[in-house]
Amino acid sequence: MTETLTRNEDAVRRTSNKHGVTIQELNRVSRDFIKASAQATLPVMDMGCAYGVATLPVLEKRKHVIACDLNPEHLDVLREKTPPEFQPYLTTQPGKFPQDFDFPPNSLEAILCSYVLHFLTGEDLVIALAKLRNWLVPGGRLFANVVSPMFYSFAGFAAEYDRRKATETWPGIMDKETIRKHIAPGYLEWIGEDAMFDFCHAFDKEFFARTLEDAGFTVEEAFYYNIFAGEANRHIFGPDGYPGCVGAIARA
């Protein structure tokens, strides 16, 4: 299954912490998180919330959201954007995930990790998934997405990924040298040095689902999708239907 997500031409906002761009339009995973959060009786979490594109719609439902991000400046913007009547429902916490975060077991009903887990090493990913599952109530859901090895702007990595799968535990690891080797012409100029990442961990759909299952989650669905950012940015994200990213929804 491949889904194409649409967003506005001006809906790309670059981060200032070398973690790429934040997508201002909601994707399928984020939309499903918001829908689930509307029914929540416990707090929910937006891990890697950036400027709050998925946090704000949940606050509007008067649900408690713990919004976390590596960059405190992103959280400052989120707080400024949150109307006064919804401020009591917002908790923000800066820090590096998973190292800087600990929450009580069984305290959250839903967690969104949108374009977060692909910045973790294999070792940190195991720790992160264990923490996420521990924080969720039994039956609580994780909504997550990551880049695939076919991500359009470094699609040349896909063949290397396939070769690695036979021998490596984490075949999708890309260091700075690997990223620069496979990066498409013009991508660095498009994204900017401040936002350009030096590490990425790509997953195919089956591998990502299996990783979640190994962490004790029950995967409800895993799927490919692509990001559409307007005709002007097709050279970055590729054509409709391209399997540039993987989304997953899983129960604790």
Query: With 90 as the cut, is the pLDDT of residue 247 above it?
Result: yes
Strand partners of residue 90: 65
Closest CA to 55 of 94, 10, 87: 87
Question: What is the reported pLDDT for 6?
Answer: 32
Q: What is the pLDDT of residue 3?
A: 37
Count helices and strands (H / E) in the chain: 9, 12
Residues 118-138, mean pLDDT to the nearest whole number: 98
**Confidence band, pLDDT 50/70/90 cuts, at residue 127:** very high
Number of domains forming the structure of the chain: 1
**How is residue 20 annotated by DSSP?**
-
To the nearest whole number, what is the mean pLDDT of the chain? Answer: 88
Query: Is pLDDT of 240 > 90?
Result: no
Looking at residue 9, its pLDDT comes to 38
**SS3 sequence, 196-235?**
CCCCEECCCHHHHHHHHHHCCCEEEEEEEEEEECCHHHHH
pLDDT band of 196, cuts 50, 70, 90: confident
CB 52: neighbour CB atoms within 10 A? Answer: 25
Domain of 180 in residue numbering reads as: 2-251
Q: Give the mean pLDDT of 157-184.
A: 93
Determine what percent of the chain is predicted with pLDDT higher than 70: 84
Cα separation of 74 and 94, whole Å?
Answer: 9
The CATH number that applies at residue 177 is 3.40.50.150
SS3 45: strand
DSSP state of 184: P
H/E run at residue 143: strand 136-147
Kindly give, in sequence order, each residue whose CB lies less than 8 Å from that of residue 171, ignoring residues fewer than 6 positions away. 161, 164, 165, 207
Q: 3-class DSSP state for residue 38?
A: coil
CB atoms within 10 A of CB 166: 7
